[in-house]
Amino acid sequence: MAAQSRQVRIGMIGYGQMGRIHAYAYRAIPIFYDPLPAEPVLQAVADVVPGVAERAAARAGFSWHTEDWRRVVESPDVDVIDICTPNSEHLPVLEAAIAAGKHIYCEKPLCTNLKDAQRILQAATKAGILHQIVAEYRFLPALMRARDMVREGLLGEIFHFRGLYLHAGYVDPRRPIAWRLRREATGGGVLMDLGPHIIDQMRVLVGNASEVQGNLETFIRQRPLAERPNEMGSVDVEDSAQALLRFPGGAVGSLEVSRCATGAEDELRVEVHGSRGAIRFNLMDPNWLYWYDLGKPEAERGFTRVATVQRYPAPAVAPAPKFSIGWTRAHVASQFSLVESIASGRQPVPSFADAVAMHAHIDAIYRSAAGAGWTAVPHVE
């Protein structure tokens, strides 16, 4: 391996599901990439639940741990704050990290509303820090190829974008009300949870929508409380969200997100139809991008499977391109991009400006569903 000129020291805030995945991904970077632009170092971890950060340090290899995230943000031995807390807990950490001049890698959604997201983008820009929002599907080879094909004009003029992100985890009415089912902790339901991912893919493939018409539904309105399972509480967020879309260039489309899509596991689907061809992708079949080429003779036409598998550009060296891909590999690639950008002093992509655009679409869909009908998506910074 080439000698490393520098380190990027990570301070992680929140060590639940995503904290574990991010820690795994940082550890994989020096194994999967050669040469390394910089070495990611698991420096510090904070979690508010007693014992969690201590176990994280012991198992994942952070140098030190604490229950108080402010210690991590204020520590001179940390370069990047990686935010993996529930949505409403992003804001105080973002504000403190920007004030401390740290670079930031933040889980989606950036904030719980558009206004806060705009304020954070402005503060981050003013402070001159580098910032990345987690949108790992940008780093899956099939969706990277899809973006290139649209840009290369292989689909021609775009007519339709169709995006779905379906989960089934809330079909069971016994699933208790924990933070994801509380508006004060999330800013919304499935649209705030799965919406950022599918909106990001929409923006990557066909751009910002100009207008949306939204529709929300909550199927299971009473659930047991997580902290008192014998007591029922009211659910104040949506289980399902749909939106019709219009794009500035004349294309139309739809988005659908649900956590009550019985039978779904982690089903992010995109379909794009244009004047020269079409593409389809399903995250449950992540090794292939399906391509229909209208330029072929009629007798040869049909959707063909393009093997995108694990084809990452250099300096990715492992696993070899032919091996089947999974969700965690996209996180490794996303975090490699963060480390590479910080090592070269470049603003990472997707940035907090992309996060604000996600919020702008979510905000417009919520306003539309509340009675505004077709609603313009604000193009804000």
Ligand X SMILES: NC(=O)c1ccc[n+]([C@@H]2O[C@H](COP(=O)([O-])OP(=O)(O)OC[C@H]3O[C@@H](n4cnc5c(N)ncnc54)[C@H](O)[C@@H]3O)[C@@H](O)[C@H]2O)c1
Sign of the alpha-carbon dihedral angle for 59, 60, 65, 67: negative
By CB under 6 A, is residue 117 in contact with ligand X? no
With contact defined as beta carbons under 8 Å apart, do 285 and 270 qualify? no
With contact defined as beta carbons under 8 Å apart, do 283 and 330 qualify? no
Q: DSSP assignment of 121-157, as one string?
A: HHHHHHHT--EEE--GGGGSHHHHHHHHHHHTTTT-S
Q: Applying CB under 6 A, which of residues 8, 12, 84, 149 lies at the interface with ligand X?
A: 84
Site for ligand X in 118-137 (CB under 6 A): 134, 136
d(CA 9, CA 6): 10
**Which CB, 88 or 210, lies closer to ligand X?**
88
Q: Shortest Cβ distance from residue 51 to ligand X (Å)?
A: 10
d(CA 173, CA 246): 35
With contact defined as beta carbons under 8 Å apart, do 206 and 246 qualify? no
d(CA 356, CA 119): 10
By CB under 6 A, is residue 176 in contact with ligand X? no
**Which CB, 46 or 278, lies closer to ligand X?**
46
**Which CB, 84 or 332, lies closer to ligand X?**
84
Strand stretches in the chain, DSSP E: 7-13, 39-46, 64-66, 80-83, 103-106, 131-133, 158-166, 211-217, 222-224, 232-234, 240-246, 252-258, 267-274, 277-282, 288-293, 304-307, 375-376
d(CA 153, CA 362): 28
Any idea which residue has 């820009």 for tokens?
Answer: 125
**Which CB, 36 or 140, lies closer to ligand X?**
140
Question: Candidates 83-91, 141-149, 293-301, 307-315 — which segment interacts with ligand X by CB under 6 A?
Answer: 83-91
Cα 194 off chain centre by:
8
Residue at 189: amino acid letter:
G
**Which CB, 158 or 261, lies closer to ligand X?**
261
Q: Shortest Cβ distance from residue 180 to ligand X (Å)?
A: 8
Q: Shortest Cβ distance from residue 177 to ligand X (Å)?
A: 13
Site for ligand X in 290-309 (CB under 6 A): none
Site for ligand X in 199-238 (CB under 6 A): none
Q: Shortest Cβ distance from residue 3 to ligand X (Å)?
A: 32
Q: Applying CB under 6 A, which of residues 43, 66, 87, 341 lies at the interface with ligand X?
A: 87
Q: Shortest Cβ distance from residue 288 to ligand X (Å)?
A: 21
Q: Shortest Cβ distance from residue 306 to ligand X (Å)?
A: 24
**Which CB, 89 or 267, lies closer to ligand X?**
89
**Which CB, 14 or 189, lies closer to ligand X?**
14
Q: Shortest Cβ distance from residue 343 to ligand X (Å)?
A: 23
With contact defined as beta carbons under 8 Å apart, do 280 and 205 qualify? no
Question: Candidates 10-18, 151-159, 218-226, 355-363 — which segment interacts with ligand X by CB under 6 A?
Answer: 10-18
Q: Shortest Cβ distance from residue 331 to ligand X (Å)?
A: 7
Any idea which residue has 């991912």 for tokens?
Answer: 197
Site for ligand X in 14-73 (CB under 6 A): 14-18, 46-49, 52, 69
Q: Shortest Cβ distance from residue 187 to ligand X (Å)?
A: 10
Q: Shortest Cβ distance from residue 68 to ligand X (Å)?
A: 8
Instruction: Please enumerate in sequence order all residues whose Cβ is within 8 A of that of 10, keeping only pairs 6 or more positions apart, or say none.
Output: 26, 40, 41, 42, 43, 44, 78, 79, 80, 82
**Which CB, 46 or 166, lies closer to ligand X?**
46
**Which CB, 71 or 119, lies closer to ligand X?**
71
Which residues make up the interface to ligand X (CB under 6 A)? 13-18, 46-49, 52, 69, 84-87, 89, 107-108, 134, 136, 193
